Amino acid sequence: MRAIMTCLMLVLVLAFAAPPCKSATNDESFIEGAKKEGTLVLYTSMTVDQSQKILDAFRAKYPFIQPKMFRAVGERLLTKIMTEAQAGKYDFDVVQSAESQAYFLKKRNLLQKYVSPEAKNIQKPFFDPEGYWTAVYIMPNVIGYNTRMVKRTEVPKTDEDLLNPKWKGKMGMDNTKPEWFAWKLKRMGEEKGLAYMRKLGAQEFRLYPGLTVLTGLLAAGEFPLVLNTYLHNVEDIKRKGGPVEWIAQDPVFTKFQPLGIGSKAPHPNAAKLFTDFMLSEYGQKLIGSFGRVPTRRGVPTHVQGLDKLNYVIDDISAGDDFNKNAELFRSIFGASGS
């Protein structure tokens, strides 16, 4: 999957083709099987409070299923799955994490095919053509800022704006997420891109692991700007009254969150019911209520300004180039929090 979409306009309203294959599911048989299974194990990188709200709603619909959750982000979640698999343990039924993890798990035969009957409503390219995963929301990368510390008109919008000396030591960045760096090098070309990144690295970013933590520190006034936080992180704090807002660069680097069922899921019927639930109109509206951007066509969100964004989705997650760029990212920006 290469640069599968450039300048995707109006992501919530454009009509896209549905998956080519149809599901041969039988909800009643899933329900009967899930009653015998009695539980569901979800591995997720979504925040605990939001994941719990989803699981509570799922249990309200299927009270005979007792859901359990393990939450971790990025490499920690992937490491747990791989460590368990090497030991012959397959504890998770469903995994929801970034697209890079879904690509990796599919290649390692740790996901099974399942095309939900709800998948026909999901926008392309947010489902795997072979049926191994379907994305439940997208994650545009934006510049977050503290509204008490900086005016909107002062927030840097372009690459050159970010090099202004007045921002030196005043910008936060997640030092565990090199995807934006790799994407930028791909678009700018390695030579030009590295020259720019070295100048940007000289701005002495405040480095912390985890965008939720980082955006919380932004709201607390630790620094006026955060480069490349997720839009939903800012919207979540805004909804709670925090003094934060966001501005998007043009185009907007966008990640997404696939949902997949484990190839050896202990509770496969419950896993399929949960997948259907997450992709249903109700489940997608619930996700939208968190300030996240659902993948289902026609599901509204309260976030203002989405219709003006130019989204770009590139597969820069696999191969030697990405690994090399991740090392360059760490060497230029640093690898430890401060």
| SS3 sequence of the chain | CCCCEEEEECCCCCCCCCCCCCCCCCHHHHHHHHHHHCEEEEEECCCHHHHHHHHHHHHHHCCCCEEEEEECCHHHHHHHHHHHHHCCCCCCCEEECCHHHHHHHHHCCCEECCCCHHHHHECCCCECCCCCCEEEEEEEEEEEEECCCCCHHHCCCCCCHHHCHHHCCCEEEECCCCHHHHHHHHHHCHHHHHHHHHHHHCCCCEEECCHHHHHHHHHHCCCCEEEEEEHHHHHHHHHCCCCEEEECCCCEEEEEEEEEEECCCCCHHHHHHHHHHHHCHHHHHHHHCCCCEECECCCCCCCCCHHHCEEEECCCCCHHHHHHHHHHHHHHHCCCCC
pLDDT at 73: 80
Give the chain's mean pLDDT: 87
139-253+311-333 classified as CATH 3.40.190.10: yes
- Give the best-scoring range by mean pLDDT among 227-241, 294-308, 315-329: 227-241
pTM: 0.75
Pick the CATH number of 12-138+256-303 from 3.40.190.10, 3.40.50.2300, 3.90.1150.10, 3.30.565.10: 3.40.190.10
The pair of structure tokens assigned to 26 is: 């039988």
In Å, how far are 43, 62, 135 from 282, measured between CA atoms? 21, 14, 15
Q: Taking 70 as the threshold, does the pLDDT of residue 5 lie above it?
A: no
User: In this structure, are strands 39-44 and 94-96 parallel, antiparallel, or unpaired?
Assistant: parallel
pLDDT average, residue stretch 165-174: 96
pLDDT average, residue stretch 264-292: 95
Cβ atoms of residues 20 and 140 within 8 Å:
no
Cβ atoms of residues 34 and 62 within 8 Å:
yes
Q: Which residue has the higher pLDDT, 156 or 18?
A: 156
pLDDT at 178: 86
pLDDT average, residue stretch 33-38: 96
Cβ atoms of residues 215 and 237 within 8 Å:
yes
Q: Taking 90 as the threshold, does the pLDDT of residue 131 lie above it?
A: yes
Q: Which residue has the higher pLDDT, 58 or 314?
A: 58
pLDDT at 246: 96
pLDDT average, residue stretch 250-265: 93
pLDDT interval class at 20 (50, 70, 90): very low
pLDDT at 2: 39
pLDDT at 10: 32
Could you give the CA distance from residue 39 to residue 42 in angstroms, rounded to a whole number?
A: 10
Q: Which residue has the higher pLDDT, 325 or 54?
A: 54
Domain ranges of the chain: 12-138+256-303, 139-253+311-333
Q: Taking 80 as the threshold, does the pLDDT of residue 165 lie above it?
A: yes
Q: Taking 90 as the threshold, does the pLDDT of residue 338 lie above it?
A: no
Residues in the chain: 338
- The model's pLDDT over 55-110, given as tens digits with 9 standing for 90+, comes to 999 999 999 999 999 999 877 898 999 999 999 999 999 999 988 888 889 999 99
Q: Taking 60 as the threshold, does the pLDDT of residue 24 lie above it?
A: no
Least confident of 5-14, 122-131, 193-202: 5-14
pLDDT at 314: 66
- Give the best-scoring range by mean pLDDT among 48-57, 115-124, 178-187, 227-236: 48-57
